Amino acid sequence: MKRLRISVLIVGLLLAALCVPAAVGAQPAGRRAVTLESLTSSPLFFHGTEVVVEADAEADGVLAYLVDDGGARLLALDVTPPPEGIRERIEATGTFYDVGRLEPDDSRVANLPLDRLATALLGRPWPGVGELPVLVASSTRVVAGEAGPGGATLRALALDPTAYLDSAVTISGRFRGRNLYGDLPAAPGQSRWDFVLASVDAAVWVVGREPKGDGFELDVQARIDTGRWLEVTGRVALHDGMVLIDASGIALADPPADRQPIAPVRPRQGPAPEVIFSAPLHDEVDVPPDTTVRIQFSRDMEPDSFAGRVAVAYGGPGAAAGGAAAANAGGIGFEAAYRPRNRVLEIRFDVELEQFRTIDVQLLDGITATDGAALPAWTLSFFVGG
C-alpha cells in the first residue's frame, strides 16, 4: 500500500492537536465491547457510542491505527503509536465516530484536528460518510498473555472471539431476547429462536437451541423475560463478523454474586431504518407482469411488524389512498415474507399484474427495526409493461 506522505506542517499540527483531550458531549448510555471487524463494518450503528475494542496497534508516521488479521483498520486518536514496524496488542476504550456524519463544529470533537486529518489523508477539508472512521480513545492498556477456552467469559468472547473459535465454552449472561435492546448491530438469521446474551458491556448471539429447559421457557420477543440469567454451553463461531455460540445446553443461572439482578432497562434505539434498494426501482417502466418485488433495508427489521402494514394497489386515476384497507382496494393479492439474512422483504403476487398499469407498493407506519426504531412510511411505484 502506498505510504501516506504528510507535510512537515501537517505533522506539527497533528502532534500539537493530538495532545489536547477531546471535548466530549453527552454520550449514549452503556459501553459496548466489540471486535474491530464489527466496529468497522457497522459504522452507522456504533457512531457516537463508547466502545472497548481489543486489537493490534501499529504506527503510520505520527498516527496510530488499530488492525486485525482480517484486514480491518481503524485510525485511533490519543493512542501512542508503537515503534515503527512493531505491533502491540492493546485494549482501547473510547468513542467511535464516522466523522463524515458529524458537522465540523460538533462540540464533541471540537478540539480534535479532524479537518487537518481529512486534508492530509483525503485531500479535502471534511470527509464524506464512511471515509474517515476514528476511535477517540479515553484509555488504553497492553494486553498480556493469550486467552483460552478455560478462561472464557462473555466479555472475552465479545472482544477476542478468534481465541475461542470451535472451542466448547460455558458462559453466563442476561437474556436479552431477539436483540430487543439493540445490543448488537445485526442478526444471524439462523432461526426464529436466535437470542442475545449480555453481561456488563458485552453481548453475543446464541443459536441452535430455543431459550427453554428444565422449568423455564423464555420468549425471544418478551421484554418481561429479559431479567433472567442463563448459563449457555456450546461452541464458538463467527458469522459475518458476528460472535455466535452454537448452543448444546441451556440452563437457568443466578446473577453474579457481586451485583444485584438487573431489571430490564429502556432500550437504546439505533437510527431509523431506511430502504436502501428495491427491485423494481422506483418509477421503473416496462416491468414484467410476473415480477417479484424485493425491498432491502439498512438495518435488521422486526418481521412481525410487517403484518398488516404492507399494501399493494393499482395506481393512476381513481387509485385508492389512505391506509392499508384503502390501499388494497385494487384487489391485488400478494404474500410478503421478510428474509432476515439479507434484510429483504419479498413480495410475490398471486396472479400476474395487469399490463400497462402503475403499481403502488406501500410500507405503512408501524414497521420497525428489531430495537423498535420506526421505518418512515415509504412508497414504491413502477409501471408494468406488455
Task: Please report the domains of the chain, with CATH numbers, ordered by start residue.
Answer: 8-142 (2.40.50.140), 149-253 (2.40.50.200), 275-383 (2.60.40.3710)
pLDDT at 316 over 80: no
Residues 239-259, mean pLDDT to the nearest whole number: 87
Question: For 211-243, how does the pLDDT look when each residue is reduced to its tens digit (9 = 90+)?
Answer: 999 889 999 988 899 989 999 999 999 988 889
pLDDT value for 109: 87
- As a whole number of angstroms, the distance between CA 23 and CA 77 comes to 13
- Amino acid, single-letter form, for residue 142: V
The H-or-E segment that residue 324 falls in is helix 324-327
Higher-scoring residue by pLDDT: 261, 94: 94
Structural Rg of the chain based on CA atoms: 24
Higher-scoring residue by pLDDT: 21, 139: 139
pLDDT value for 118: 93
Residues contacting 120, CB < 8 A, separation 6+: 4, 6, 7, 10, 14
pLDDT at 103 over 70: yes
CB burial of 75-91 (b: ≥16 within 10 Å; e: otherwise) equals bbbbbebbeeeeebebb
* Residue whose cell numbers read 392499508: 324
pLDDT at 326 over 80: no
* Neighbouring C-beta atoms of residue 224, cutoff 10 Å: 10
| Length of the chain (residues) | 386
pLDDT value for 317: 55
Q: Is the distance from CB of 263 to CB of 207 less than 8 angstroms? A: no
Single pTM value for the model: 0.64
Binned at pLDDT 50, 70 and 90, residue 209 comes out as very high
What secondary structure does DSSP assign to 46-98, as a single string?
HTTEEEEEEEEEEEETTEEEEE-TTS-EEEEET-PPPSTT--EEEEEEEEEEE
CA 32 to chain centre: 12
Q: Is the distance from CB of 55 to CB of 66 less than 8 angstroms? A: yes
